């Protein structure tokens, strides 16, 4: 039986990315993305829904996300949906769905621009983002 697991999201970070490292030294970055959906009800009322999704980015791409993204930054994420399950200290079972990113595109400016509203100084040459 064939299966397909692909997610594409465009939204804004709700918090600064959190960068950690595995015991083996591999970088793993996580952040939450807010994705809005606007629609009109049958009565003509305009409504908006917000969905909050946790995104996990590994290795060099995760390091780049931690360096260049910040709270409020727009990002385009392409990846796969993954379910994690665990048991809390008091024995309750928990389940969470998250997106494991295969590719993250930075849509806006650098995180200093988003956080302060000011334009950061431009480098002499265009900066390369390692992916």
Task: Give one DSSP letter per residue of 55-102, joined into a string.
Answer: EEEEHHHHHHHHHH--TT-EEEEEEEEEEEEEE-TTS-EEEEEEEEEE
Interval 2-30 mean pLDDT: 96
pLDDT of residue 128: 46
Other Cβ atoms closer than 10 A to 78:
15
Nearest of 69, 5, 14 to residue 36 by alpha carbon = 14
> What's the token pair of residue 93?
């079972």
Determine which of 47-51, 57-61, 72-76, 120-124 has the lowest per-residue pLDDT on average: 120-124
Question: Could you give all domains of the chain from N- to C-terminal order, each with its CATH number?
Answer: 7-113 (2.40.50.140)
Letter string b/e over residues 102-124, b meaning 16 or more CB atoms within 10 A of that residue's CB: eebebeeebbeebeeeeeeeeee
């Amino acid at each position: 039986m064939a299966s397909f697991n692909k997610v594409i999201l465009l939204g804004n970070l709700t918090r600064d990315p959190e960068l950690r490292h595995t015991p083996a030294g591999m970088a793993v970055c996580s952040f939450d993305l807010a994705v809005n959906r606007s629609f009109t009800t049958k009565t003509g009322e305009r409504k908006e829904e917000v969905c909050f999704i946790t995104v996990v980015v590994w290795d060099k791409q995760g390091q780049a996300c931690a360096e260049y993204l910040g709270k409020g930054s727009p990002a385009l994420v392409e990846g796969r949906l993954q379910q994690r399950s665990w048991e809390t200290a008091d024995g309750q079972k928990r389940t969470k769905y998250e997106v494991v990113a295969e590719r993250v595109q930075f849509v806006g400016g650098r995180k200093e621009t988003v956080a302060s509203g000011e334009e950061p100084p431009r480098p002499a040459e265009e900066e390369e983002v390692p992916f």
